[in-house]
Structure 1
């Protein structure tokens, strides 16, 4: 049975779960929390996934095992996303194994708190390089294949700190604002190539290790509950899917109604 107005059928809705079959995604920072959930969501959709982490190899290998259990191919690609050399090595390995990367999710980030006047240049760049400059390097490494194929997805992460300042976290706010800027720029430049570029702005998300919500934080959210990693992964899955072909250059908030 088909709903002519909405353009979908029961059969089509059942197929959405494997709508990324044959595609390959790179997800940075995918050993735990949001990155892990995104990797697993893609795997459920039939997508091969390259999982990444900077230090905890076991967490990344555990994610890779779960990805593989979904019946798709995976690759563990350890490396610091703040290092251009590490990203180059990851890209070379990934491309040699899969030929082309269709989806890039720039999730890796650092969020240290330190008063601005006490920051060193190293403190500043350790945040900017991982969260913002890495978007430049991964996009340059993987977008040529997308251009050749006439199809691709870049999904970046901003957050509410792209909307307002972050107390004792100046480089975090700067990086998140910058990610929003590069998202808009790339979406404009590559729209005609079949590549969409979007950003997800997560709200307050409960870590995988937390048993329940933090009551104080949940009280400030209109829905009354904190988000979970799967909430963000669902949006990433949609933006990566063929159904989202007409969405580009957007920053989509997933925050329980907490818009500022």
Structure 2
């Protein structure tokens, strides 16, 4: 991939204080992209991500807030637009994955998941798509998940939200393709935490590749989807899972 191919572009990456979100933010920065870093609570982690982005020579803005809260999303997106004018690359990575039997769930449990993963993606797309349309260029990268697409055991709102994200992504891909905008979903498999020093043997047993993925494996795919080279890839779900079947 061409060095600094994203120079002049600005990305918003939700949930980018650690793990997959951080890896994506750093990879985009390495390609020359300005990055808006977001997290819901751990400001220190987000500031660390921003510092590492700046170390690459790219610009970074930290915009803290909960993607489940409409007032937070409005504030975050307004701050990003006020600072940079438009967002060219939207990465909706923020998610919650609580486990609870379906019959024990409350309304709050349900909305706590759906409002982050699905409604949050809707709100950010609504905020940033006008600028993409004006510029005739844009990238939307959403997230599903292998277990969510199979049917998450004791995680009904996770599966419902991620299937909804997949539907939203397909709809956006068809409506905005004429404007030079792509929309795709990445569905990660078993990815180990960025702080882990070794794979979990119990988990690798089900992976044909024989090893767990790392956040950088997801970041590489996200980076490709964000570049001009991916202009003909839209409306797709790309599984990054070492060969496990969904």
Q: TM-score range by the shorter chain?
A: over 0.9
The aligned residue for residue 127 of structure 2 is: 141
The aligned residue for residue 87 of structure 1 is: 73
- Checking the alignment, whether the CA contact within 8 Å between 1:202 and 1:232 is kept in structure 2 is yes
Q: Secondary structure at the match of 2:63?
A: strand
Do residues 160 (structure 1) and 146 (structure 2) align?
yes
Do residues 123 (structure 1) and 109 (structure 2) align?
yes
Question: Segments of 4+ in structure 1 off by > 2 A?
Answer: none
Q: Secondary structure at the match of 1:25?
A: strand
Structure 1 position 163, deviation (Å): 2.6
The aligned residue for residue 221 of structure 2 is: 235
**When the two structures are superposed, what TM-score results if normalisation uses the length of structure 2?**
0.99
The aligned residue for residue 97 of structure 2 is: 111
The aligned residue for residue 183 of structure 2 is: 197
Q: Tell me how far apart the structure 1 counterparts of residues 90 and 227 of structure 2 sit (CA, whole Å).
A: 13
The aligned residue for residue 159 of structure 2 is: 173
In structure 1, runs of 5+ residues without a counterpart are 1-12
Q: Deviations over 1:156-198 (max 9, x none)?
A: 0001134311110000000110011001000000000100000
The aligned residue for residue 6 of structure 1 is: none
Q: Tell me how far apart the structure 2 counterparts of residues 55 and 192 of structure 1 sit (CA, whole Å).
A: 38
Q: Tell me how far apart the structure 2 counterparts of residues 120 and 199 of structure 1 sit (CA, whole Å).
A: 28
Do residues 257 (structure 1) and 243 (structure 2) align?
yes
Query: Which of the pair has more CA radius of gyration?
Result: 1
The aligned residue for residue 61 of structure 1 is: 47
Q: Tell me how far apart the structure 2 counterparts of residues 184 and 19 of structure 1 sit (CA, whole Å).
A: 26
Do residues 23 (structure 1) and 9 (structure 2) align?
yes
Equivalent of 2:26 in 29, 40, 47:
40
Do residues 211 (structure 1) and 207 (structure 2) align?
no
Q: Tell me how far apart the structure 1 counterparts of residues 151 and 185 of structure 2 sit (CA, whole Å).
A: 18
Q: Secondary structure at the match of 1:65?
A: helix
Structure 1 position 227, deviation (Å): 0.2
Task: Please give the root-mean-square deviation of Cα atoms over the aligned residues, in Å.
Answer: 0.7
Structure 1 position 210, deviation (Å): 1.1
- Checking the alignment, whether the CA contact within 8 Å between 1:27 and 1:49 is kept in structure 2 is yes
Q: Tell me how far apart the structure 2 counterparts of residues 94 and 212 of structure 1 sit (CA, whole Å).
A: 37
Q: Tell me how far apart the structure 2 counterparts of residues 189 and 173 of structure 1 sit (CA, whole Å).
A: 25
- Checking the alignment, whether the CA contact within 8 Å between 1:253 and 1:259 is kept in structure 2 is no
How many residue pairs were aligned?
246
